[in-house]
Structures are given as structure tokens and as C-alpha cells.
Amino acid sequence: MADQNKTSAKVEFGNELLNPSELFEARTRSHKIPVRGQKDFIPTGADQQRDRLQQSLDEHWNLVSEERVERLGNLVKAVWIPSDMIVELQSPAGKFWQTMGFSAHGKQCLHPEEALYLMECGNLQVFYQDLPLSIQEGYERFLYSKTMSIQHYQVFGHLKRLGYVVNRFDPSSVPSQYERQLNLPQSRDRSGRLPKRKHSHSPTSRHTGTQEGPTSKRMEEEKDCNREEEDKNPDSLPDLSAPDIDEIQTASHVDPTTSTEGGQGRSWWSKEGSPEPDSELPGQPQSSPRWDFSSIPFPDLGSRRWLPSSLTSPDPCLLPGAVGSVGACDVAPWLQRLNLREVRMSRREWEREQDRDRYRRDIKQDREVRRCRNWAEYQELQERRIQRSRRDRPAHLWEGPVTPLHDPAQVTSTGELLDKISVIKSTRLLEGASSLKGSEEWRICFNIYQPDTVAEFKKSAPGKPYSRMCVCSFDGPVPDLWTLKLLAFQSGDVPVTYAVVDHGDISFYSFKDFQIPTDVSF
Amino acid sequence: MDSPEQKITKTVSREDASKESMANSRHVIGIHFCGPTPLVWRADELKSARELGIIGTLVGSLARQPRQNTRLGRPLELLPEEGRLLADMGRAAVIPDSTNEDPEVNPEQVEQYHAGLENSFQEQGAMVLADRKTTLLRVMTEKHNEDSGSQEDSDGAVRDRLEALEHGFSFPRTAMAVQLCTARAGLSHCPEVRRFLAADWPTPRDERSETRFRVFRDLRRQGFYLTSAGKFGGDYLVYPGDPLRFHAYFIVVCISMDESMPLCDVLAIARLGSNVKKTVLLCSSGESQEDDREEVVYTSLQWSGMV
């Protein structure tokens, strides 16, 4: 049943200003809101219905006509400054300071919507020209701009009353995608200086692929760093042309000192190999990174035709400089680790192999390929072959300006084929969004943080918001794809919610971006 | 629809109308614009509007419990059609915005305000003291009734305690109760003053607003109560009686007479209506062929099955 205030059973409207005795009475006011009863469907004109309606109406007017009465000690005093559109506090802020307000030139200030909300909650008394502002004056003075209209305030108030922390949106505070990738710690001060990069002695890497000598040497012996750098100077080769087959290259800067060190050390080929005394190193001052592969033997241990018993020591100039010379390699223990047994196939497997081989052409047996002397000729042969195969294709399809999308003779997978014939390509919401320019009509207004974070909320480091809000109305246009892309991009990785205000009623909509999974198994 | 108007007037009219509420019904309701939105601030004007069948929506925080969304308080936001109808009936006037006038401090008003505050402080202090005295007296007489001591001793004790209370009593300024006004104070209720100050109602911009207004006026004339229906995909929700007590009957969708509606839209709105158990009304306004008057044409959609 209704919790009626006994002193005013009949609602009196007269003057809205309360006299001191009414103010005094207000201390013992109830703070409960009566529950609304069930509704009827058909008006019957019965007395009971009429009485219930009257009761509901009386309760309604009781609640609506009640004025706000507060203890003076509980009110924070503030002043409205129209030129800056902010409210400046004159007495210390209360608990609301944890989530609302900002500091400006030494004073605590509030945005107009925050001040109006606090006025409605009965926490703040705002003065203008030495007189206190009523709620009506607050609405009329604070909400006349386009950035903070009454619709924006309705959304703000609605969310604040639910307990969310709501701030104004600042586009410059959104980290760019690159910053997010780097996972940079968020700092308010965006003009922080980067730490000075220490001067590193890393060598300028020139053609490291061919200059294995110097780099690996450096890695192993840092103490010789300086000496190496001195030696390197005459070595520099700015341009690398195609390997000249005739020249013999050497890695030059191998010091006699290092070579002796390397000579003492290791033998890579046997466990107790004795290194042979190395021959004189051809100390060519110039090194050009060209190898004569015809003169370098690469042993083929797997070949059945030629099984060496031991491998001779390779030329030390082919090895990394620090290694020096190594002894001959005994092949036997290594051969034991290779599987050199002949494959014995059953008759059926053998027949299957034969069948396969019938259609497979060994490229080494191909006479035309053998006739090619170099890579360029081989590519020309391939071209000719493709042309020949093309001649088999019907001219009316392939010779015209419009040719079929796909040649069945070409091997391709199901996925690729589907991609080729697809007319619509799937796209993501943020594709092409970075090139969109801003709009006057559609803006993100607020950042929203969840209510359960209020205890640890810090205004200086609020963290990532739960959502960002854009306010619009049912009378205006529906947000189109361009708007969705623009706002999603502006918001970074925080989802955008659209609050639609319709004469006091607020609905929230959000758009999710997701991919339809493609099921292609091939 | 058997004469809903009669039924409505029965439920609304009251025999115990106090003088003030009778006077209220002759008041001119002041409408204040906040941007393009018409608002009504005074509680008595909200009541007058409701008596005329204009419901509106409350959009402010409720004074008693500001931090909840189930029941809101003043101001009352009106639909543009509601405001226009009230203005046309002569029962409301647009009060122009006066925030930009008086840029300087008004010393007289400030003095008045401070004097009022001081007076309130003194009176409240006296009331608190009186309240404490009565409490003390009551406690002491109860105690006296329990023990049966001599009458004179107890009287003396009571007097001493009361004096001690008066001497030791202090009412700090911070304990004073202060009112935070909802509506702007100062404008007189006098209808003539209101009409003098009134500005014109902003004229409708397009055909759609005009259609909406005509439909609204016609339905209101028939005694229905209307509120906005954005969430239901329509223009208005129609109630047979006060929305506090009754469920809505119809969802009104206003379309112009010549406009053709795609079939999928008709299906969508019909589906919606059947899901929320309300009938969909398609309304258009146009010229009647017979007597050249404006008339509103209604078409209702009902989802029926063929078995």
C-alpha cells in the first residue's frame, strides 16, 4: 500500500517555495517510493476502478510535487561561469570527486552536465550572480549548446543513475592501432621524450649472405673486434654483381694470429682427428664474394655409385675464418648412420611404381631440357610449352577480349577456385575506415566505465572504457555504414553503443562485426 | 467504442475539488523550451495538463530518490503535438527564454535572498528547540509516572533541565534545512501576464509533423490518452484511460494519404503488434470529399489465420 505522508493527505500546490515549518517537517520525510499496482485492460466506469485511479494519481502528484530539501552542511557550493561553460567549486568536493570533475588553474571544476546531475541529486548548490540556481535554470543555462543538448543530458543522467562512470570523450586520448600493437603504457602526457638510444657498434651489414667470414668471426671473438674493424676497411664492396664464375674469392681479413688459434682447435670431422698443419693462406687483400662451385667438391655420401673411404680436407679459405684447417674426414662412421639399404618392394608395390612412372616424366631424361644450357633457356622452353598447350584451347573462348576465369587444365585447389568465382568479397568493419573524414552530425560523446570499477577508478588513469556512446534520436537518420565505420575507427578497440532518445525514452543499440566462417575442405 | 469520452470524464472529474485545484484548471500552463524540446516545470501545471488529457513524459530525477530510473521526476517533456494542442486550445503559452537578460548582479534580490535565509534559520532554530523541549518533557513525565516521587521535586527538576537545555542549545548553520528549487521562482501565475509574455508556437516544418498533429488532435478529441511509441516502431500509443491504470490498445503509425507503404513494412509492423498484443492503426489525414473538412482515416491491422 502507499506510504503516505500523514501531514499532507491532500496535495496542495500553491506556492512551490517552502516555508521554514515545511522545511522543518521535511526532515522526517519518508524516502520510499510506493510500488505501482497492476494495470487494468478495459475501463469499466466502476467505482472501484475510479478510486484506484484516484489513489494512483494522488501518489503520483505527491511524489512529483515534492521539493528537494537538504541540510546546508551537506551541500557543496559552486559558481557557474558562463564564459568558460564550467562550474567552479567553492567548498571542498564530496565523494563524487572520485569519478567526476577536473582541476583547472588550482580550482576544482565540473562540466555543466556533471553539475546539473549533482544538483538533481541534491549534493550541489550552484550560484550565479550571488543567487542560487533552480533546476530549471540549470537546464536552461547549462544545456543550450549542441555538444551538450537535453538529449545528451538525458543519456548522461540515465547512465549515471544506474551507477556507471560517464566522462566526456576526447578523440586524442584514443591510442592508435600502432600504439596498441606495441602495448605502450598509457600516459596522460603525450609529449614524453623517448629514451636515448645507445650508440651501438653493430657493423653495417653488407651482403651478410656471402660474407660469412667476418660476421661469424665477430660473433666468436669479440676481443678481436677492433682489429677486425681495421682490417675490414679495405674490404668494403659497395656493389655485388652476379657471381663471376671465373674468379676465386677469399675471405681476406684472416689474421695470422687467428689462424694459428683455429689451427690448434677443432677438427670437425672426426672425434680424435689430428689436424694437419695448415697450408699457407692465400692472403689476398681483396675479397670478392664469388665462389667457383665447379672447383668445390660437394661430397654425395648417399650416392650408390661412388663411396669414398674418406674425404679430403676442404680448402681452409672455404671455411669460416676461425676454423682454420680441419683434417681429413673418415666417412665410415657417418655412413653407418645413413640408411643405405636397398628398398625391397613387393611385387604389387613394384607394379604400382611402374604405373606411376609411366605417366611421370623424369625431367632429367627430358631431351629438350637437357639441351638447355642455362636457366634462361629453360624458362624459354617452358614458355614455348605453355604456348603449345594453349593452342589446344578453343579460340572463341580464349582469343577474344573476354576470356574465361579459369582454365581447367590448370591445377588449383577448391579454395582458390571459389575465391576466383566469388562476386562479393567479405570485408571487415574497419576496412577503409582510416581514410574517412569526420562528420559534424555523428560524434562519440561519452566514455562509459562499468559500475563495479568505481572503487578503484582513478581520473588520471581511467583505463579502457567499457563502451563509448553516440547519442541520436528516432527523428534523425539511421546510422549508415559510413557512420558505423567512422565511429568504430575513432573509438579504437572499444565498442560503440548508440543511444537513441525518443521523448524521454532511451534505447541502446550496438553493431557487432563478425565473420561468417567459410568451410572449404580440399 | 461506446462513448469512451463519457467514461473518461467520469473517472477524471472529482467532487472534492478544492478551491486551489479549481483555480489551477483555469491557469495557463507555461511551456519552456530547452533547445527544441518543450518542458513543463511547475507541479500544478503538470496536473492541469493531465486533466486536459496531456500526459507527457517525466525526464528529471525524482527528488525523493534521485539515483534510480524506475520513477523519474520533473521536468515533464511534451511531444510537439501535445504542446501545440495546448497552445491552440489557449491553455498554454510559450514562455520565452530569459536567461540572457540581466547580466549583472541584482543587489535587491540578493539581499532578499539572504534575509529569507536568515529568517528561516532563526525559525528553524526555534522549532528545533521547541521540539527538543517537548521530547524532554515527555520523557521526564514518563519517568515521573513510573517512580512515585514528590510532585514539587520533579517539577523543579524539570524546570532545571529545561533551563539547562536552553542555555546549552546551539543550532549550527550547517544543520539548517535549505530548499533546492525545481522550478524557477518569480513568474506570476496570472494568466494575463502569461499571455502577454507568450511567444508563438514554432510552426511545423513539414507535412509529416502536420499529419502527426492532426491524428493526435483527432484521437484526443475522442477521449483517448496518447504517449510516444518509438520503442514500438510507431508514432503513438493509445490508451482508453489514464496510462497509470490502463494498458494501451493501439499503436498508431502516421502515414500520408498518398504514400505507398512497402509490403514488408506492413508485415513488420503487423508482426510487432501481434507480439505485444496491441492493434496497429495506420492513420492518414486528408480532405473529406463530402464536406471539405479535414478528416482522419484509420485502418487497423489484425493478424488473422486461415485454418
Tell whether the model's pLDDT for residue A258 goes beyond 80. no
Contacts of B128 in chain A (CB under 8 A): 24
Instruction: State pLDDT tens for residues A187-201.
Output: 544 433 444 444 444
Reported confidence tier of residue A177, pLDDT bands at 50, 70, 90: confident
In angstroms, the CA B42 to CA B25 distance is 13
Would you call B163 an interface residue with chain A, using a CB distance cutoff of 8 Å?
no
Q: What is the pLDDT of residue A359?
A: 73
Q: What's the confidence (pLDDT) of residue A191?
A: 39
Evaluate if residue A125 carries a pLDDT over 90.
Answer: yes
Of B35, B177, B230, Cβ closest to residue A474: B230
Taking 50 as the pLDDT cut, the residues of chain B under it are 1-25
Name B216's Cβ contacts closer than 8 Å, sequence gap at least 6. B79, B81, B82, B85, B226, B236
A185 close to A192: Cβ distance less than 8 angstroms: no
Cα-based torsion angle of the residue sequence B201, B206, B210, B212 in order, rounded to the nearest 10 degrees = -110
Give the integer Cα–Cα distance in Å for B223 and A45.
14
> Is there a contact between B81 and B111 (Cβ–Cβ < 8 Å)?
no
B5, B47, B58, B180, best to mutate vs chain A, most A CBs in 10 Å: B180
CB pairs A-B closer than 8 Å: 241
Lowest mean pLDDT among A352-366, A468-482, B10-24, B71-85: B10-24
Q: Please tell me which residue of chain A has the smallest CA distance to B50.
A: A57
**B178 contacts in A (CB within 8 Å)?**
23, 69-72, 75, 125
Q: Is B83 on the interface with A (CB under 8 A)?
A: no
Residue holding cell 566462417? A517
Q: Kindly state the average pLDDT of the residues A162-170.
A: 92
- The mean of the pLDDT values for chain B is 81
Per-residue pLDDT, A317: 76
What local confidence, expressed as pLDDT, does residue B97 receive?
A: 75
Per-residue confidence (pLDDT) for residue B193, from 0 to 100: 60
Confidence grade of residue A64 (pLDDT, cut at 50, 70, 90): very high
Q: Which has more pLDDT, A376 or B103?
A: A376
* Distance, CA of B187 to chain centre: 18
pLDDT tens profile B131-145 = 888 888 888 888 777
pLDDT-derived band at A306 (thresholds 50, 70, 90) equals low
pLDDT given for residue A108 in this prediction = 93
Mean pLDDT of all residues in A346-356: 83
Q: Which of A30, A24, A23, A22 is nearest to A2 (CA)?
A: A30
Q: Which long-range contacts (CB under 8 A, 24 or more apart) does B27-30 make?
A: B27/B189, B27/B191, B28/B90, B28/B91, B28/B92, B28/B93, B28/B191, B28/B194, B28/B195, B28/B198, B29/B86, B29/B91, B29/B92, B29/B93, B30/B92, B30/B93, B30/B95, B30/B187, B30/B194
Which among A28, A71, A72 is the top mutation candidate for probing chain B, defined by the most B β-carbons within 10 Å of its own β-carbon?
Answer: A72
Q: What is the pLDDT of residue A369?
A: 82
Q: Which three cell numbers stand for residue B133?
A: 523541549
Q: In this predicted structure, what is the pLDDT of residue B190?
A: 56
Q: pLDDT higher for A200 or A184?
A: A184
Residue B237: per-residue pLDDT: 94
Instruction: Report phi then psi at A339, rounded to 5.
Output: -90, 100
Could you tell me the three cell numbers for A493? 578497440
Average pLDDT over residues A160-181: 86
Measured between beta carbons, the chain A residues lying within 8 angstroms of B37 are 150-151
Q: Say yes or no to pLDDT of A347 above 90.
A: no
Q: Determine the Cα–Cα distance for residues A178 and B121; give it in Å rounded to an integer.
A: 62
ipTM for the predicted complex: 0.84
Share of chain B above pLDDT 70, in %: 79
> C-alpha cell of A348?
604389387
For residue B152, the model assigns a pLDDT of 57
pLDDT, residue B187, reads: 56
> What is the Cβ-side half-sphere exposure of residue A211, based on CA atoms within 13 angstroms?
23
Question: For residue B290, which amino acid is it?
Answer: E
Using one digit for the tens of pLDDT, what is the confidence trace for B182-196? 888 765 555 566 666
Residue A307 pLDDT: 66
Q: Residue A415's pLDDT is what?
A: 80
DSSP assigned state of B71: S
At A230 the pLDDT is 41
Handedness of CA A218, A223, A226, A231 (dihedral sign): negative
What's the whole-number average pLDDT of chain A?
74
**pLDDT per residue as tens digits for the range A230-244:** 444 444 443 333 344
